[in-house]
Chains A and B, each alone.
Chain A
Amino acid sequence: MDISGNQLIPAGREEVWRALNDPEVLKACIPGCDSLEKTSDTEMNAQVTTKIGPVKAKFKGAVTLENINPPESYTITGEGKGGVAGFAKGGADVKLSEADGGTMLEYSAKAQVGGKLAQLGSRLIDSTARKMAEDFFTKFSETVAGPPATEAESKPEAAPAAVAALDSGADAGAASQPARPVETAVSAETETPSAADDTKVFGGPMAVKACTLLAAQADGSEVVTLEGVGSADALHPVQAAFREHHGLQCGFCTPGMIMSAIDMINRYGAGNLDEATIRAELEGNICRCTGYHNIVKAIKAASDQMAGMAQAAERREDTAQTGVTAGSWRTSRAFEGPGTSGGGPDFGRKRMAIEGIGARALRKEDKRFLTGKGQYTDDMVMPGMGHAAFVRSPHAHAKVTGVDASAALAMPGVDAVLTGDQLVGDGIGNLICGWMIHSKDGTPMKMGGWRALEHEVVRHVGQAVAVVVADTAAQARDAADAVVVDYEELPAVVDPVAALEPGAPQIHPEAEGNLIYDWEIGDAAAVDAAFAGAAHVTKMEIRNNRLVPNPMEPRAALASYNDAEEHHTLYTTSQNPHVARLVLSAFYNVAPEHKLRVIAPDVGGGFGSKIYIYPEEMVCLWASKRVGRPVKWVSDRTEAFLTDAHGRDHVSEAELALDADNKIVGLRVKTIANLGAYMSLFSSAVPTYLYATLLSGQYNIPAIHANVKTVYTNTTAVDAYRGAGRPEATYLLERIMETAAREVGLSPADFRRKNFIKEFPHQTPVIMCYDAGDYDATLDAALQAADHAGFAARKAEAASRGKLRGIGISCYIEACGIAPSAAVGSLGAGVGLWESAEVRVNPVGTVEVLTGSHSHGQGHETTFAQLICERFGLDSDAVSIVHGDTDKVQFGMGTYGSRSGAVGMSAIVKALDKVEAKAKKIAAHLMEAAEGDIQIEGGELKVAGTDKKLSFTEVALAAYTGHNLPEGMEPGLKEGAFYDPSNFTFPAGTYVCEVEVDPETGKTEIISFVAADDFGNIINPMIVEGQVHGGLVQGIGQALLENAAYDESGQLLTASYMDYTMPRADDVPSFSLSTHVTECPGNPLGMKGCGEAGAIGSPPAVINAITDAIGSNDLTMPATPEKVWQLCQAQMKQAAE
């Protein structure tokens, strides 16, 4: 790009020339200049921070001057490197001439940008560059002509880095200081709106994102990764603080988070970070699990502690002279409870107390995640491994008329190109939906065929048509681009309402009019009667926006086949490896179950999206056999957006009927749910049994009727995402409750309280029988914590500043631990929903627990171990939890629906009961005591009332030597159990959100967010809080930011982090949490489940708060500034009229 211009500066030419050569003047005038230093007469080093569109970058570089002809002209050239952001290079001729009224400065620059910058589009770059040029000259002119540049006069002539910087910084549009190419001086910090899982400290104290940096750009640099920060035995204070404050769950984002945190502390100085700064600085790193709350706490604590360490070191030096032992912070830490402050190098300390039920035990899994030793699927390699890349449809709906792979097959490293006809030829089955739903007329749901590779009709953008296997991932991708697919485009439909209209494009031959089923629940006649006699009816249309789950680890698969053994192995990102094996075997016919090992190693979050068995994983398994080598595939983020099952996407009409006393008498709901192009594994159950059965909420509603129609559209499949049906029900109910309260003039809290269910068990009209709860308790607690009483004063104060305050309530209920198996079977489930466990006591008294649950951030390795520690009085180091491998654990149903605690742990309790009984029998025999007199306490089996005792280890050893066991007893100490719950569990609670809206911009700020939850009994409060934080941020994300948007032709407009707005640390507040226990009577631990509550309860609280603030109820999610601003404008217009 060329930029030229001129500027008349009202000052003499000599003066202008001096200023043009003065680093101080230039530094002051260059927009975003952080430093400018002269290195020789003709060279300067400069650093400029600039932001173009979404890319913010620090550019470092040097500038060289040529053709110097004082005081008339010079030429500057250089190249600036902005690291991940890209580069800019260029040159500029600057000329000064005497003119009327001062000096005329003319400049003419040529510039070139590359890397990420170049992808921003020339319009954005040009306009930014021109703006920067203008800004510079305006300021330069003011500086020179205004108060004479006295400083400049006092300094010797300096090299004129800056005009160029400016010019070319400006013109380069980004670039910065044109710089002399200095090979090793690259040091950059950039921010793009992508997740920074690979942030590295690079070239000194600067964090960079390694995913968008060429290795060559780092040539000669010193690079530090998490592996170089601390070891498991000697954690860096930041690592220790992340553990102490539970600042990690699945561990996938953690390496990048820690590197960013260290960088941040380095730059600001230990002890100089506050919450706002930390959140702003973390903007470039996305975490999907923690909700940032605990990450912020951890960084703050580490920063403060590192400052304290510096002080302590000074103290140590002082006291060393007087002979007093220093390091008092270290000893004092040992007496503090976990979770109280910032961790430290005492990571390996022994915690003396047994960490049983209720303890805030720090996580056992943290060590590997904090030190970069986590093993996710993409970290696995196999000898001879090939890489897969998929050829995907660019059309939302099209016939595939031909696939020509000849060019791809001729490319280097390419092994094979496989297509759907080969898949079908090998007898591989279609993907299925595993939950049968019948329409109200009794007909079964209409399931359209779904092939893992489609060679006839593609039905959404991104559907896989072929797969390439090659030696490297890059070769596979290049070859995938070279596969020529001929399509004949068909009309597409993306809107679920439009898809049901006559004449809409027909997506599957099996489903006429795109209707999958037309289902109902409840008593329509009773509801009609209730509405007929109602004193007030509130009606609303409610949309629940489409979301993309976005776990930070994209899906991945690594499959191998041993032809000699006819045995397959599949490493994959699964929440339920056994279910994956069952489906791959029984339905897809890829491999028989006993010849297939599925391993879900460390999995970086799931949130529902990793329950399902997708085409790609299955194709890798199949291809590894066909190609005769292991095959690996790792989704990129855009593939994840196009193929991971989406969530929500409901359009509903709701009507609520009240009697004269404002008691609810009936609820009528009609919902259209978009299931996308294909029926994913559990998709049919989500808008039915996981949704409509929760429509009674926390309220006594005598009559409910819901009608749900599910439809096919030319969009990605929709299935369960965190909450799955329950967020949709809660949003609908809590929006209409709030609206009804406003309509009848009751306070929303009082209206809810008036209609609360007070007695348990309570049978709702929509199947569910609530077993226990105290809804007043959580409402009271939340209102108190939110200082609801003081809201009016805060609203008035905000109004005085021109801001609109609002407060919103949401009282949610959720149903977890979907069960019992017989009941879900009768409702159409294809599997039972029990869980298994096996407790193995080793001869030395250590314990392994095998569970069918899977942990991908939830901390099972810690909480499950707490059960064993509690039962046998063992140290948690003596207990290991084994999960995620079908060769180790016999069978299990996996983790989803907040079931691991209530169902998974209950199975462990059953197995523990058996182990305990056998251990007591052995102890009684060995000590010649009655079995009933044996008590287990502190790791010992004691005879009550005597001093006789055996250690747990002695009893375990006796069980395995078998030398002296009770008559007829088998040796060994190992027991298994299957647990099938008797009912769902019903966590519930109240969330209160207070917002402040700026009517000038439409921006919503969450001032405070309070959660009061009843999860029943809690094993580890620290982990429960972490689950709530993470859920809340996903829910707030739905309410304010996130939305999967398609255009009319079926292109997903939000298929990257540039367009899909993920909640970042500076978008959300820290939270105020409390829990209030009513025990669940349905399981031995009295637990309910906590994984999804945050995502279920929070969206309506946010929207109720915003609508309260702006006085308009017509708001859809996400409540973007634009929508809110429009409503504010309309309100103001209305008020003016």
Chain B
Amino acid sequence: MSDIEQIPVTVTVNGKKVQRFVEPRTLLIHFLREELNLTGPHIGCETSHCGACTVEMNGMSVKSCTMFAAQANGAELTTIEGMANPDGTLSALQEGFRQMHGLQCGFCTPGMITRAHTLLKENPNPTEEEIRMGIAGNLCRCTGYQNIVKAIQYAAEKLNQPETQEAAE
């Protein structure tokens, strides 16, 4: 048993309030993956470069690999596990990635979708250039980004046509 002092961290993740006692040095990504078993966000570089760990915190995209869990204390977080529609069906973004073959190995996808989710909230009608700029913090080695861009465009279009969405549901 470690003698290191444990501190409480309370966050609301995907709508559910949780509290854990952790070492102060615990990073948010480890808090999510190891304490909460939310293994969707991945660790790709440990240095903020790749974006595989991207989650949404209080409406902003953050890279959870270079933040202390303690810094997220009291925050509202959304991870890939909270992306689907409440009825369990795929969200427009998730469906876009599927329809447009926006993923291959799937490892960068949680970060990519979480980032795109925030991006579309900030800018519901992004141009291709804005999309490419918007996801510049997220690396993908499989797709060459082309289909990821298309996937985000698909989602943007769908989200801007509420009647289509209703019909689909």
Contact = CB atoms under 8 A, between A and B. Distances in A.
B37 A563 contact: no
Nearest to B39: A383
A563 B39 contact: no
A574 B107 CA distance: 36
Contacts of A563: 88
B88 A383 contact: no
Contacts of A628: 88
A563 B90 CA distance: 12
A384 B88 contact: no
Nearest to B37: A383
5 contacts: A383-B37, A383-B39, A384-B37, A563-B88, A628-B88
Contacts of A384: 37
A563 B89 CA distance: 10
A108 B46 CA distance: 70
Nearest to B18: A471
Interface in B56-110: 88
A383 B32 CA distance: 12
Interface string A612-637: 00000000000000001000000000
Interface in A1069-1098: none
A384 B39 CA distance: 10
A976 to B, nearest CB: 35
Contacts of B39: 383
B32 to A, nearest CB: 12
The 5 closest A-B pairs by CB, nearest first: A383-B37, A384-B37, A383-B39, A563-B88, A628-B88
Interface in A334-391: 383-384
Interface string A254-294: 00000000000000000000000000000000000000000
Nearest to B81: A384
Interface in A774-816: none
A765 B64 CA distance: 78
A958 B37 CA distance: 47
Nearest to B84: A563
Nearest to B90: A564
Interface string A818-834: 00000000000000000
B91 to A, nearest CB: 14
Contacts of B88: 563, 628
Nearest to B38: A384
B132 to A, nearest CB: 28
B77 to A, nearest CB: 16
A984 B156 CA distance: 70
Interface string B4-47: 00000000000000000000000000000000010100000000
Interface string A380-409: 000110000000000000000000000000
A375 B39 CA distance: 24
Contacts of A383: 37, 39
Nearest to B34: A383
A628 B37 CA distance: 14
A383 B88 CA distance: 20
A84 B37 CA distance: 35
Contacts of B37: 383-384
A384 B14 CA distance: 14
Interface in A291-324: none
A14 B132 CA distance: 99
A682 B155 CA distance: 55
A449 to B, nearest CB: 31
Nearest to A382: B37
A1014 B39 CA distance: 57
A563 B88 CA distance: 9
A384 B88 CA distance: 17
A563 B94 CA distance: 15
A383 B35 CA distance: 10
Nearest to A384: B37
A623 to B, nearest CB: 16
A854 to B, nearest CB: 31
A341 to B, nearest CB: 42
A863 B43 CA distance: 46
A628 B88 CA distance: 10
Most buried by B among A384, A563, A628: A384
Nearest to B33: A383
Nearest to A385: B37
A887 B39 CA distance: 25
A563 B81 CA distance: 12
B71 to A, nearest CB: 24
Interface in A704-723: none
Nearest to A629: B37
Interface string A978-1004: 000000000000000000000000000
Nearest to B36: A384
A899 to B, nearest CB: 41
A396 B37 CA distance: 42
A563 B87 CA distance: 12
A387 to B, nearest CB: 14
B105 to A, nearest CB: 15
B34 to A, nearest CB: 9
Interface in A53-86: none
A527 B39 CA distance: 72
A384 B34 CA distance: 10
B30 to A, nearest CB: 14
A384 B37 CA distance: 6
A150 to B, nearest CB: 53
B113 to A, nearest CB: 14
Nearest to B88: A563
A331 to B, nearest CB: 44
A625 to B, nearest CB: 11
A563 B84 CA distance: 12
Interface in A521-577: 563
B43 to A, nearest CB: 16
B136 to A, nearest CB: 29
A383 B36 CA distance: 8
A383 B39 CA distance: 9
B61 to A, nearest CB: 24
Nearest to A563: B88
Nearest to A628: B88
A354 B88 CA distance: 58
A474 B143 CA distance: 47
Q: Which has the most chain B C-beta neighbours within 10 Å: A383, A563, A628?
A: A383
A156 B87 CA distance: 82
B84 to A, nearest CB: 9
A209 to B, nearest CB: 23
A216 B88 CA distance: 43
B95 to A, nearest CB: 13
B19 to A, nearest CB: 11
